[in-house]
Structure 1
Amino acid sequence: MADTQTKFSAGMRTRRSVLGEGYVDAAVSATDAFTADFQTLITESAWGSVWSRETISKRERSMLTIALLAALGHHDEVAMHVRATRNTGASAEDIKEALLHVAIYAGVPAANHAFKIARAALAEIHDESA
């Protein structure tokens, strides 16, 4: 039980540091009896077990995540993780490099759509900071 609580706590800290307080607060407040177990699962596993590891940087994890999500066609998640680069240190150039890898290893159509999503998300970040 203690390990689960530790993973959840670490996961929530990491999740908030990457996605931002507002995003996580909205996800948590939308949690209900049907989605609670899923929210716990992703907080403990994705954020507490993987994203909280110190082997590679959050910048590198961000690039890997964006490339994988783009390759798999998870468009909403691509946009969310591009917006999260405000907190991970991945630059627009890093995102471009990750998406070029997607083009070669997962296909040009996947990369083409991901470039459109990333461009829009980066414009959103730029508009917010202006």
Structure 2
Amino acid sequence: MAAGETMSERYRQGTKTRRAVLGDAHVDKAERAVTDFDRPFQELITEAAWGTVWARPTWTARERSIVTIALLAALGHDEEVAMHVRATANTGATREDITEAMLHVAIYAGVPAANRAIRIAKQVYETLDAEKEA
């Protein structure tokens, strides 16, 4: 927040939701990287994406996770796909859910988009599995 501004309730809810979905370690790292240049953008996504959309009670975190991954895959946002696949550990979306989402991406957004996102998801799952074994 800018100097002298107070944190809005929507921002507080966004931070809480973001931490629940992405995990404290991810959010702490992201917050440490914020500069004056990107602070307004970070505040916007915390309030709008996390405090408004993700905080709505209509869909579960699992449902939002599936839809988000499918949209990000369709748009080719690889880093965000990886981040949200990692977040499925917190949202309850299963690997089967993501497989089904990728089938939809293939049909509605194209096989190359799904193929790329599947490759990313597989890499994330391999890392998560290795971390569990360690």
Shorter-chain TM-score: which interval? over 0.9
Which residue does 1:94 correspond to in 2? 97
**Segments ≥4 residues shifted beyond 4 Å:** none
Question: Which string of whole-angstrom CA distances, capped at 9 and with x for unpartnered residues, describes residues 56-106 of structure 1?
Answer: 100000000000000000000000000000000001100100011000000
Question: Which string of whole-angstrom CA distances, capped at 9 and with x for unpartnered residues, describes residues 17-61 of structure 1?
Answer: 000001000110110100100110000000000001110100000
Question: Unpaired segments of 5 or more residues in structure 2?
Answer: none
Which residue does 2:76 correspond to in 1? 73
- For the pair 1:62 / 2:65, whether they are aligned, the reply is yes
- Kindly provide the amino acid, as one letter, of the partner of residue 68 in structure 2: T
Question: Unpaired segments of 5 or more residues in structure 1?
Answer: none
Q: TM-score, normalised by structure 2?
A: 0.93
- Kindly provide the amino acid, as one letter, of the partner of residue 70 in structure 1: A
Q: Counterparts of 1:129 and 1:42 in 2: how far apart (Å)?
A: 31
Q: What is the aligned-residue identity percentage?
A: 57
- Kindly provide the amino acid, as one letter, of the partner of residue 38 in structure 2: T
Which residue does 2:56 correspond to in 1? 53
- Kindly provide the amino acid, as one letter, of the partner of residue 112 in structure 1: N
Q: TM-score, normalised by structure 1?
A: 0.96
Please provide the CA RMSD for this pair.
Answer: 1.3
Classify the secondary structure of the residue corresponding to 2:37: coil
Which residue does 2:9 correspond to in 1? 6
Q: Counterparts of 2:109 and 2:62 in 1: how far apart (Å)?
A: 21
The one of 111, 115, 120 aligned to 2:118: 115
Q: Counterparts of 2:14 and 2:126 in 1: how far apart (Å)?
A: 29
